[in-house]
Amino acid sequence: MAMTFVWTGMVVLSLVFGAVFGRLDAVANAALEGAQSAIQLSLSMAGILCLWSGVMEVMNVSGLSAGLAKAFRPFLRRLLPNACQDTETLAAVSANVSANLLGLGNAATPLGIRAARRMAQGCYGVASNELCLLVVLNTASIQLIPATIASVRAAAGCETPFDILPAVWFASVLSVLAGLSAAWLFSHWGKRK
Amino acid sequence: MNWSSLVIPLLLAGIALYGTGKRMDVYAALTHGAEEGLTVLLRVVPALVGLLTAVSMFRASGAMEWLSDACSPLLGLLGIPPETAPLMLVRPVSGNGALAVASDLMASHGPDSYIGRVAAVMLGSTETTFYTIAVYFGSAGIHKTRHTVPAALAADLSGFAAAALAVRLFFGT
């Protein structure tokens, strides 16, 4: 439903601004061109996107993501000490983090939900500090290879679509750290009151 | 040669060798995954048609410029280029919307321009925050989300500022 408001808002604002600035011809053309460019974009993205989904599948089946999940356990035990006493929650959370890292969004969400459900037991609908942390961790992107973005860059005519990798890693790490420290700060604030 | 050109061939070869070493059918898994990629794409295309239409209209009408100008004093403080304001507004709400806005920015400024790169890094270092929160808490039966939303938005905002900073550090403006 939220997207209905966003879409309607954009179209109505375009109409109003176009009428005020006398740009209605351009707006009308842009609507048709935009729809066409969506198909062009999708077609030029398709190759990289499919190749990458294939690579992900190989990583998943070969047990590479499971190995990565194991490597994360010590870190997660520190971050979520209460929840990770339950081995099944720990397994789900670590698999969730490793799927996120590899860009397996479709696999990460059900794993994260399984962990969130177990952590929500006995909370009576109120999120615990650790559950907030888990969700914040999932709202901050931690992808190693952002394949979709690379495919959009390639579609726009970029010759080295992956050269932004170090910049993406740098920004992701800062964003995750900011999210975790904000969650930690806010939870301590709550206690003092 | 760009060093990043090494990442992809190395990764493909490494995964193929690792899988073969584990005696799995690497090629079958690859094509099966690619097939799944096609279904993902099929789900994205209708959203992109709707959203790129709206984004192009928004730009052509001058509303995008107005929005960027309105946000520029605040964004200037954080070192974020004001042209990316629409991307930052859409990002937490809709992943496909953000993809549409970013591709529009890359098409109009160039994928290797400062703004094009910042848009790409912003897209890569943040998530569809509100969607994620709704899915997780919705399925876990949580209705009091406490400090999750402010903390997640703090992560997004720092991600945006860090994206602009990272592009300046690694590529210059």
Per DSSP, helices labelled H in A62-128 are 64-79, 87-101, 105-120
Contact check, Cβ <8 Å, B61/A23:
yes
ipTM above 0.95, yes or no: no
d(CA B49, CA A37): 8
DSSP string, A158-177: -S-TTTTHHHHHHHHHHHHH
Q: What is the pLDDT of residues B62-71, one digit of tens each?
A: 999 999 999 9
Does B20 contact A at CB distance below 8 Å? no
- Across the range B14-41, mean pLDDT stands at 92
- Please give the tally of structural domains in chain A: 1
d(CA A4, CA A7): 5
Domain span at residue A114? Answer: 47-192
Q: What are phi and psi of B137, to 5 degrees?
A: -70, -35
Give B159's pLDDT tier (boundaries 50, 70, 90): very high
B22: helix, coil or strand?
A: coil
A91: helix, coil or strand?
A: helix
Q: What is the pLDDT of residues B92-147, one digit of tens each?
A: 988 899 999 999 999 999 999 999 999 999 999 999 999 899 989 988 989 888 99
- Does residue A14 form part of some domain? no
Please report the pLDDT score of residue A27 as a whole number.
96
**Partner residue facing B133 (CB), from A52, A139, A166:** A139
Q: What is the mean pLDDT of chain B?
A: 92
Give the least confident one: A184-188, B7-11, B76-80, B120-124.
B7-11
- Does residue A1 form part of some domain? no
Rounded to the nearest angstrom, the minimum Cα separation between A105 and chain B is: 11
The residues pairing with B144 across neighbouring beta strands, listed in sequence order, are A126
- Does residue A107 form part of some domain? yes
- Across the range B54-66, mean pLDDT stands at 93
Rounded to the nearest angstrom, the minimum Cα separation between B72 and chain A is: 19
Please report the pLDDT score of residue A192 as a whole number.
57
Mean pLDDT by 10 residues, chain A (193 residues): 85 96 95 93 88 88 87 91 90 90 81 92 88 93 86 92 92 95 88 57
